[in-house]
Structures are given as C-alpha cells and as structure tokens.
Amino acid sequence: MIVHVLGTGPSLRYFLRTEKYHSDLTIGVNTIWKQYSVDCLLVMDNVERFKEYGDYGKTIIARPYIFYSLYPDWSFMPNFQKIEIDCLKDENGKMFFPLEFYGDLSNLDHAFKFPFTATSVFTACCIAYREWKAKKIIVWGCDLFSHPELSGPISINGFIIKNTIDWIFNQFKDLKIELKKRGVELRMQKYICDSMNHHYDLEHLGKCSYCDEIKR
C-alpha cells in the first residue's frame, strides 16, 4: 500500500496538482483540512491550542475516516482513535516530553505507542507504517525551513536546540533507515526546502548542493 503523509507547508501544492495520487490513502496533520480532505487526520495539539490558532471550528467539521490524537479531549470527534507516545506527567497530571524521547524509535513496532518529534509528520509516518501496513510512504508539505516555529532555535523543557532543522532531519534519516530494514520505503517529495533553494534529500541521506524548486 502507498500512503501519502501530508504536512501543511507550501510544497503541499505539488501533491494537490498531482491527481493520480489522490486515490491513494492520505494521512494529514493538524490544519490540513484547510487545503485537502484527508482520509485520516492526526492532531498533536490539544483542543485549547487549536482555539488559540483560531482553527478549532474548521477542525471540528472535519470528518476523516479516523481521527488520531494523543489528547482525549478530542474524543468527541467521529472515529476518534487515541494514540500513546512516551511522556511524563508533572504533579498536576500535565504531560511533558523529555528531550531524550524525541526521535526515539524504540516504539516503532510497539503495540500501541508511537515515536514522535517536533513535527507531527514524523508520527504520521509511523502510523502509516504500523496502522496501515504501508510499503511506500510519501511525504509532502514538510517544509521545515519555512515553518514558523521550527525554522529557528526551539526550547524543550529549558534545553535549547540551536540547529532544529538538522536535528529533525537526522531523526527522519534514522526513521528512513529503520523502515527500510522492514521493507518500507520513505520518500520526501519536494524535500524540505529552504529560502536559499537548497534542500535536504532523504533519497540520498544528505544535503544537496542545489534544488530546482523555484524552476518548477
């Protein structure tokens, strides 16, 4: 099975233009419903965060085949399926996620827990592999360089990640390698483009010297 994982970045337009892929299974993340009606939706933020985004109303009218989230406050959604990821809880019961849990693939074949990192697309790829038995996973719209929160340094529990894009990219590299061991191909369509027209290319597990993104 081919599964397309859809982020919300600008390069999603290449998927939207390619109608031959639209009959394949799609797993989208967060506010993807603004751009495409996916088969499965993964939401990695709680309801309150979506209200802050102003996207709550748009999200609750979504009717995907399955609505995945780690937050039970989304359980009112039709076809809700709760997922688990590694986390700890403080004295008030609030979840928090230690740095060492990010990108940890020890749960890749776990019965119910899923790996995660700072981008929801990572977990969506793991869902495609484990829940849908995908043999090819194609990612669109994962544009880290233009991401409003991930294009610069981020803070995780007080620890500063300075090279966020390299950090996430290396986690995708590890995921690609682990999936390949299991007979699954992971591809990043239109790559993870930056403003200098270069890209990280998971096909070659390295950073390319030039990207023809603008020419297309």
CA 54 to chain centre: 20
> From residue 33, how far is each of 27, 42, 55, 150, 191 by CA, in Å?
11, 11, 10, 21, 21
Query: Which residues are paired to 96 by β-bridges?
Result: 88
User: What's the pLDDT tens digit per position in 41-87?
Assistant: 999 888 887 776 566 555 655 667 899 999 998 898 888 999 998 87
Domains identified in the chain, total number = 1
Look at residue 214 and tell me if it is in a domain: no
Look at residue 215 and tell me if it is in a domain: no
Which CATH number covers residue 166? Answer: 3.90.1480
Look at residue 212 and tell me if it is in a domain: no
Q: What is the structure's pLDDT at 157?
A: 66
Look at residue 128 and tell me if it is in a domain: yes
Look at residue 193 and tell me if it is in a domain: yes
Q: What is the structure's pLDDT at 189?
A: 60
The residue written with tokens 């981020």 in the block is 154
The residue written with tokens 């020890």 in the block is 106
Task: Provide the residue-wise pLDDT of the chain in tens; the chain has 216 residues.
Answer: 999 999 988 878 888 887 777 889 999 998 888 888 899 999 988 888 777 656 655 565 566 789 999 999 889 888 899 999 887 666 666 666 667 778 889 889 988 899 998 889 999 999 999 999 999 999 998 877 666 666 667 677 667 777 777 788 888 989 999 999 999 999 876 444 443 344 444 444 444 444 443 333
- Decide if 142 contacts 28 (C-beta within 8 A): no
What percent of the chain shows pLDDT beyond 90? 31
Which residue range(s) make up the domain with 28?
2-207
Look at residue 144 and tell me if it is in a domain: yes
Q: What is the structure's pLDDT at 69?
A: 94
Look at residue 216 and tell me if it is in a domain: no
Look at residue 153 and tell me if it is in a domain: yes
